[in-house]
């Protein structure tokens, strides 16, 4: 995984595996930073799954020698912005779109 990493959160329901969350990062062209994205199924939000998945991405990115991880979030997505703030991300308005907040964490 020289440029990308992805994790999936799954569970077994009715003898079938279901994906309830995905988190991934992609290394930027500078080779020093990466952008992450995460999605958790609505029914499973607020249970700590996203926090654990982001924490794992951070560890893997740090171990890969990356210097920072960032993600863009809709400004109205308060739960995600609160999560990022609580995890130590620095939040700032996106330079190209006032409806987006960029969270950056130095690794």
Q: Is residue 95 over pLDDT 90?
A: no
| CA 32 vs CA 3, 20, 62, 79: distances in Å | 11, 30, 10, 28
What pTM value is reported for the model?
Answer: 0.89
Q: Which two tokens stand for residue 70?
A: 């960032």
What's the CA gap between 31 and 40, in Å, rounded?
A: 27
89 DSSP assignment: P
Model confidence at 1, pLDDT cuts 50, 70, 90, reads: low
CA–CA–CA angle 70, 76, 79 (5° rounding): 70
Model confidence at 71, pLDDT cuts 50, 70, 90, reads: very high
The predicted model gives 54-78 an average pLDDT of: 96
What's the CA gap between 107 and 65, in Å, rounded?
A: 9
């Amino acid at each position: 995984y020289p440029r990308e990493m992805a994790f999936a959160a799954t569970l077994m329901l009715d003898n079938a595996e279901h994906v309830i969350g995905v988190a991934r990062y992609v290394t930027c062209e500078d080779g020093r930073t990466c952008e992450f994205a995460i999605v958790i199924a609505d029914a499973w939000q607020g249970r700590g799954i996203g926090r654990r998945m982001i924490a794992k991405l951070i560890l893997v990115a740090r171990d890969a020698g990356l210097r920072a991880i960032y993600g863009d979030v809709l400004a109205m997505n308060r739960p995600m912005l609160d999560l990022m703030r609580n995890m130590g991300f620095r939040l700032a308005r996106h330079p190209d779109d006032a409806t987006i907040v960029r969270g950056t964490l130095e690794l």
